A and B are shown apart, each in its own frame.
Chain A
Amino acid sequence: MIQKTHQKDNSEFEANVPQEIPDELEQHPLTSWIRDKGWDWFDHQIHTLKAAQDDKDIVVFAPTGAGKTLCGFLPSLVDLYHRGSNKKLHTLYISPLKALAVDVHRNITKPSEDLDLDFTFETRTGDTPQSRRARQKKKPPDMLMTTPESLALMLSYEDSHEYFKDLKFIIIDELHAFLHSKRADLLSLNLERLNQFAPQVQRIGLSATICDKETAKDWLCRKDSSIVQIEQKVLPQVKILQSDQRMPWSGHSATYAVEQIYEAIKKVNLAVVFVNTRAQAEFMFQSLWQLNDDNLKIGVHHGSLEKELRRKVEAHMASGELDCVVATGSLDLGLDWADVDLVLQVGAPKGVSRLIQRIGRSNHRLNEPSQALLVPTNRFEYIECLAAIEEIQKGHLDGIDPKEGSLDVLAQHIFGVACHRLFDAQKLYEEVIKAWPYKNLSEKDFYDCVAFVKDGGYALKSYERFSRLVEDGDQDNVFKLRDKRDARRYRMNIGTIVEAPMLKVMMRNRTLGNIEENFINNLTEGDTFLFGGKVLRFDGIHNAIVKVSKSKDKQAKIPSYAGGRMPLSTHLSNAVRGMIGNPNTWAGFPEQIQFWLKLQQEKSSMPDQKRLLVETFPRDKKHYMVAYTFIGWNANQTLGYLVLRRMKRLNLKPLGFVMTDYALTVWSFNPIKNPEEIFEPGLIYEDFEEWIFDTPLIKRLFRDTAVISGLVERRHPGEVKTGRQVLMSTDLIYDVLMKYEPEHILLKAAYEDARHGLIDSDRLRDFLIQSKENIEHKQLDQISPMAVPAVLLIQRETVAREEREDYVIEDMEAEILAEAGIHDPN
């Protein structure tokens, strides 16, 4: 870690006026150790140390690979050295990824062994064996590297306040990757717990560079606080793959570019091909292998592969045995696996920060910029890639949008607090509202959550005799677990990530990983699908295990991908709009992109940053409307439902809608004559409330809420069912609650999640207000060039499943283009 940092940023250091190094650091053996190697400390490292010595909380912002981890650990290393170990936990390092905790542990080992430093450090994650956990409990190390879930678990032990009471530093890595998720709520609540046990504790956050630093600081810091920014000297070199092949108007498979991707990875030692979904990963992996005449060693890495398989790929990367890895977000976060020479991003980046994060995987050479190649899979994505590159060059990054605390996470937390020991509810409320996400939490919501944990919180008290919590003796408002054995239930259910129901995939006796139950339900025996880079034959389900065998088929169905849709960031979508709306920027685009844009301009109009372009046209005895909203998939989906409702009321006889990140397409029997009437801002106020409790989306969210809050227990893949488990669909529970207790706290929890997440109503509201009186309506005789992908999407949804192969899509694309009188010369 230290070595890399200094190699990489050497030039930066020399250019700076050296900061005065505090005595404590001067005396630390690390200082002579690095000076022996010809380096010295950086300003940002000294800044961080000094701020920590002034008893401040700190957030360090840095580009990937700039050595921010050492920055975070330095105050702790210096303090420990001078104070000496007292056999109590001194520093807690928390990362969103288990693997990252392990990695950081490895990086500290080297200097610590070289210098024979007198402190202990260990990891503690879900993978840590029981024996080591027990030892850690008795004999805490000085430093512990862990995850938010493992922290929650540790805090639920009865003696946790003793365990953590001497804690001096908490280091939270990859802060930017947390803040929009429920894991951030969980972490934030537990940080407040730690503050109760160890009021002296200082928080140090490490984050990638983001544009809204103050918000991140407010989220994390409690004390007087300080921001440290590490500047990036060398900008990454990002290019778009230039192909002479025809780039499709729609789709996401990148078939046209596979050969060139292969050529690109052939030229370097180690390339990582990032894709956005697991399905794309499988597809790309297989496509590359089909070309692999040079016997390149290509691996695949995604979240539903069995842990051992993933670890194997990671190890092979690190040891240099692999030439290329096709990966999804599972390989995203700040891991220093290996010297990656080239990063390819296939598909739109969806956000500037995440792209930078991915590109950052390849900058491990002295003073050399990161190398990255973007591969758009359709013409819209080409523009998005271009816009992202421009934003990187300008240094414009996405903001972060920390979420309001979710009530289901709060309920889980309250249960955890009770597992630790009895608690005074009012004092706990005061503690909880100190956590940033819960600063606006009302007392009522809090007490409703307590009541829910106690016995379900129903208006009827029929469950009281089984309640989980009881009041302690005659103390009012002080609660404790009725039965301490219930702590086990809490510990089994910790966490905020609820996967779509998954089934274990096994070939003979070997476990290959997990796959969505929904996908498997659509298969019949003999069907083939891609998984872990292999074509597998589906042999049936036995005892909740998917049995498969090898298949010789080359063609296979590709696994569906339920979760993990990445929202298009507002920042990037604005940049895309800006580019499309300004023909002066088009000159540098490849010919086929220019052709497409000019044709659109000629046949219809161009959306831009101010106006909402709405096209209407008849097609096949129906009427279509395409609205170029650029508000992302989630908000477009919500808009689609609302628009459909309104169209029904206006007797336009709507038939359906489809959406992309960029546009919403609706088709109906009667034509829309007046889009103003449809997109009037009242939509979000009047129709929204009525609609939201009725949508299938909220039921999906309710399922997560039910699990996180502990209403139903988590199902672990492959687990055999027992009579104790609630296996009925949470949809049934939702319907009953809606009817009999619409004010219930869990419905409120799901509703709030819906508003901020899947439904994205905030973004939608801003959009509707902005679009008011800014709608450009084009009444066309036929489909416009930009509408081709949207209409194709409809076709694609309506053809039979077995016909959804890509070549069929290509034919359909050609048909639609011909129908619109568009001759694509490419």
Chain B
Amino acid sequence: MTQINFANEIFEPQLCGALFWPTEKMLIVSDLHLEKGSSFSKFKQFLPPYDTSETLLKLSKTCDDVSPETILFLGDVYHDTHSLNRMKPKDRNLWNEILEGYKIIWVEGNHDPGQAPSNIEAYEEFTHKGITFRHIANETDDQPEMSGHYHPVLKFFHKRQKLRRPCFVMNESKIILPSYGTFTGGLDITDKAFQNIVNDKTQFFVVTRKKILTMDMNKKAA
């Protein structure tokens, strides 16, 4: 099992794209973008309306695997402010089970302002054990921070095949989580958006089907 040492704590990146904090029994997930598929229907583009089922099943399975006490949502749980209305009854049931089954920490994202369930407090920032959790990284903050938003992916060659996979991005004071949702695309870590975050010392924890690969800027296994 790959472990990440960050801010004097140990984290375990999961193959599903979540980050587990064993000492706190906390599962951290970012950018679920629930009902992204159906969001296009108002533009009359009818994508298969099954991405929410897929994402929630994945989350529920991860919870079964690592048995967290707390789930921390790092923003953009819903793709838009009407996502919950569009959710199918079956998916909604599963979603409620998850929300009720664990202690929830809800950090708001740019896609879902004001959408936290009524009994759950929504944070813009949440700090725990010296780590600040916010949806979008604050480049001027050099204190330990975890965020999402950018959906980082890394392109690399592996066994002669060109792969493009979601990854956790980590530098001295920041971790950016990959997106968790089924229909979420990704932004290459060479994109301008990452220019103030990615540096020579940045490490990438790349999610592949079978294991987490640790890589550095030269895309060499570290």
Q: Is A290 an interface residue (CB 8 A)?
A: no
Q: Which of B39-59 contact A (CB under 8 A)?
A: 40-51, 53-54
Q: Which of A462, A736, A737 has the most CB of B within 10 A?
A: A736
User: Do the beta carbons of A462 and B86 come within 8 Å of each other?
Assistant: yes
Chain A residues near B43: list those with CB within 8 A: 724
User: Do the beta carbons of A458 and B46 come within 8 Å of each other?
Assistant: yes
Q: Is B128 an interface residue (CB 8 A)?
A: no
In the bound assembly, the distance between CA atoms of A455 and B41 in angstroms comes to 8
User: Do the beta carbons of A460 and B160 come within 8 Å of each other?
Assistant: no
User: Do the beta carbons of B185 and A711 come within 8 Å of each other?
Assistant: no
User: Do the beta carbons of B38 and A462 come within 8 Å of each other?
Assistant: yes
Residue of B with least CB distance to A724 = B43
Q: Is A807 an interface residue (CB 8 A)?
A: no
A644-675 to B contact mask, C-beta < 8 Å, 1/0: 00000000000000000000000000000000
A294 shortest CB reach to chain B, Å: 43
Q: Is A741 an interface residue (CB 8 A)?
A: yes
The count of chain B contact residues (Cβ–Cβ below 8 Å) is 26
Q: Which of B50-93 contact A (CB under 8 A)?
A: 50-51, 53-54, 86, 88
User: Do the beta carbons of B45 and A726 come within 8 Å of each other?
Assistant: yes
Q: Which of B167-213 contact A (CB under 8 A)?
A: 182-185
Which one of A563-571, A727-735, A815-823 contacts B?
A727-735
Residue of A with least CB distance to B39 = A723
Q: Is A468 an interface residue (CB 8 A)?
A: yes
Q: Is A72 an interface residue (CB 8 A)?
A: no
Q: Is B155 an interface residue (CB 8 A)?
A: yes
Q: Which of A522, A733, A744, A798 has the most CB of B within 10 A?
A: A733
User: Do the beta carbons of B46 and A456 come within 8 Å of each other?
Assistant: yes
In the bound assembly, the distance between CA atoms of A354 and B23 in angstroms comes to 70
The contact of B48 among A466, A727, A733, by CB within 8 Å, is: A733
The contact of A458 among B40, B49, B155, B182, by CB within 8 Å, is: B49
User: Do the beta carbons of A456 and B155 come within 8 Å of each other?
Assistant: no
B132-160 to A contact mask, C-beta < 8 Å, 1/0: 00000000000000000000000100001
Q: Is A475 an interface residue (CB 8 A)?
A: no
User: Do the beta carbons of A460 and B88 come within 8 Å of each other?
Assistant: yes
A737 shortest CB reach to chain B, Å: 5
In the bound assembly, the distance between CA atoms of A798 and B42 in angstroms comes to 47
In the bound assembly, the distance between CA atoms of A802 and B44 in angstroms comes to 46
Q: From known contacts A460-B88, A732-B182, infer whether A468 and B48 are also in contact, taking CB-CB under 8 Å.
A: no
Chain B residues near A732: list those with CB within 8 A: 51, 182-183
Number of inter-chain CB pairs below 8 Å? 78
B29-45 to A contact mask, C-beta < 8 Å, 1/0: 00000001110111111
In the bound assembly, the distance between CA atoms of A724 and B182 in angstroms comes to 18
Q: From known contacts A455-B46, A729-B185, A797-B160, infer whether A463 and B88 are also in contact, taking CB-CB under 8 Å.
A: no
A521-534 to B contact mask, C-beta < 8 Å, 1/0: 11000000000000
A575 shortest CB reach to chain B, Å: 36
Q: Is A739 an interface residue (CB 8 A)?
A: yes
B201 shortest CB reach to chain A, Å: 20
Q: Which of A137-159 contact B (CB under 8 A)?
A: none
User: Do the beta carbons of A462 and B88 come within 8 Å of each other?
Assistant: yes
User: Do the beta carbons of A728 and B41 come within 8 Å of each other?
Assistant: no
Q: From known contacts A462-B86, A727-B185, A797-B160, infer whether A711 and B46 are also in contact, taking CB-CB under 8 Å.
A: yes
Q: From known contacts A462-B49, A711-B46, A733-B48, infer whether A728 and B88 are also in contact, taking CB-CB under 8 Å.
A: no
Q: Is A740 an interface residue (CB 8 A)?
A: yes
Q: Which of A727, A732, A737, A739 has the most CB of B within 10 A?
A: A732
B107 shortest CB reach to chain A, Å: 23
Chain A residues near B41: list those with CB within 8 A: 455-456, 462-463, 466
Chain B residues near A456: list those with CB within 8 A: 41, 46-49
In the bound assembly, the distance between CA atoms of A726 and B44 in angstroms comes to 11
Residue of B with least CB distance to A452 = B46
Residue of B with least CB distance to A727 = B185
In the bound assembly, the distance between CA atoms of A664 and B41 in angstroms comes to 45
Q: Is A484 an interface residue (CB 8 A)?
A: no
Chain A residues near B88: list those with CB within 8 A: 460, 462
Q: From known contacts A462-B86, A462-B88, infer whether A489 and B51 are also in contact, taking CB-CB under 8 Å.
A: no
Chain A residues near B45: list those with CB within 8 A: 710-713, 724, 726
B76 shortest CB reach to chain A, Å: 14
Chain A residues near B44: list those with CB within 8 A: 466-468, 486, 489
A726 shortest CB reach to chain B, Å: 6
Chain B residues near A457: list those with CB within 8 A: 46
User: Do the beta carbons of B54 and A460 come within 8 Å of each other?
Assistant: no
Q: From known contacts A458-B48, A489-B44, A712-B45, infer whether A736 and B182 are also in contact, taking CB-CB under 8 Å.
A: yes
User: Do the beta carbons of B50 and A711 come within 8 Å of each other?
Assistant: no
User: Do the beta carbons of B50 and A741 come within 8 Å of each other?
Assistant: yes
Chain A residues near B51: list those with CB within 8 A: 732, 736
B197 shortest CB reach to chain A, Å: 19
Q: Which of A57-81 contact B (CB under 8 A)?
A: none
B105-123 to A contact mask, C-beta < 8 Å, 1/0: 0000000000000000000
Chain B residues near A467: list those with CB within 8 A: 44
User: Do the beta carbons of B47 and A739 come within 8 Å of each other?
Assistant: no
User: Do the beta carbons of A798 and B48 come within 8 Å of each other?
Assistant: no
User: Do the beta carbons of B184 and A466 come within 8 Å of each other?
Assistant: no
A705 shortest CB reach to chain B, Å: 13
Chain B residues near A712: list those with CB within 8 A: 45, 47
User: Do the beta carbons of A466 and B42 come within 8 Å of each other?
Assistant: yes
In the bound assembly, the distance between CA atoms of A711 and B43 in angstroms comes to 11
In the bound assembly, the distance between CA atoms of A452 and B50 in angstroms comes to 16
The contact of A726 among B47, B50, B160, by CB within 8 Å, is: B47
A655 shortest CB reach to chain B, Å: 11
A699-725 to B contact mask, C-beta < 8 Å, 1/0: 000000000001111000000000010
Q: Which of A456, A521, A797 has the most CB of B within 10 A?
A: A456
Q: Which of A736-779 contact B (CB under 8 A)?
A: 736-737, 739-741, 744
A540 shortest CB reach to chain B, Å: 10
Residue of B with least CB distance to A798 = B160
Chain A residues near B37: list those with CB within 8 A: 736
A717 shortest CB reach to chain B, Å: 19
Q: Which of A75-92 contact B (CB under 8 A)?
A: none
User: Do the beta carbons of A741 and B48 come within 8 Å of each other?
Assistant: yes
Q: Which of B44, B47, B48, B86 has the most CB of A within 10 A?
A: B48
Residue of B with least CB distance to A801 = B157
Q: Which of A462, A486, A739 has the most CB of B within 10 A?
A: A462
Residue of B with least CB distance to A740 = B50
In the bound assembly, the distance between CA atoms of A82 and B140 in angstroms comes to 83
In the bound assembly, the distance between CA atoms of A456 and B38 in angstroms comes to 11
B19 shortest CB reach to chain A, Å: 22
Q: Which of A205-241 contact B (CB under 8 A)?
A: none
Residue of B with least CB distance to A467 = B44
In the bound assembly, the distance between CA atoms of A361 and B51 in angstroms comes to 53
Q: Which of A450-499 contact B (CB under 8 A)?
A: 452, 455-458, 460, 462-463, 466-468, 486, 489
In the bound assembly, the distance between CA atoms of A489 and B155 in angstroms comes to 33
In the bound assembly, the distance between CA atoms of A106 and B43 in angstroms comes to 43
Chain A residues near B54: list those with CB within 8 A: 736, 739-740
Chain B residues near A486: list those with CB within 8 A: 44
Chain B residues near A460: list those with CB within 8 A: 49, 88
In the bound assembly, the distance between CA atoms of A737 and B54 in angstroms comes to 11
A729 shortest CB reach to chain B, Å: 7
Q: Which of B37, B46, B155, B182 has the most CB of A within 10 A?
A: B46
Known: A712-B45, A737-B50. 4 other contacts (CB 8 A): A486-B44, A727-B185, A736-B37, A740-B54
26 contacts across the A-B interface (CB closer than 8 A): A452-B46, A456-B46, A458-B48, A462-B86, A462-B88, A463-B41, A466-B42, A466-B46, A468-B44, A486-B44, A521-B155, A710-B45, A711-B45, A712-B45, A724-B40, A724-B43, A724-B45, A726-B40, A728-B36, A736-B50, A736-B51, A736-B183, A740-B53, A741-B50, A744-B48, A798-B160
5 shortest interchain CB distances as A-B pairs: A456-B46, A740-B50, A728-B185, A466-B41, A724-B43
Which residues in B have some Cβ–Cβ distance to A below 8 Å? 36-38, 40-51, 53-54, 86, 88, 155, 160, 162, 182-185
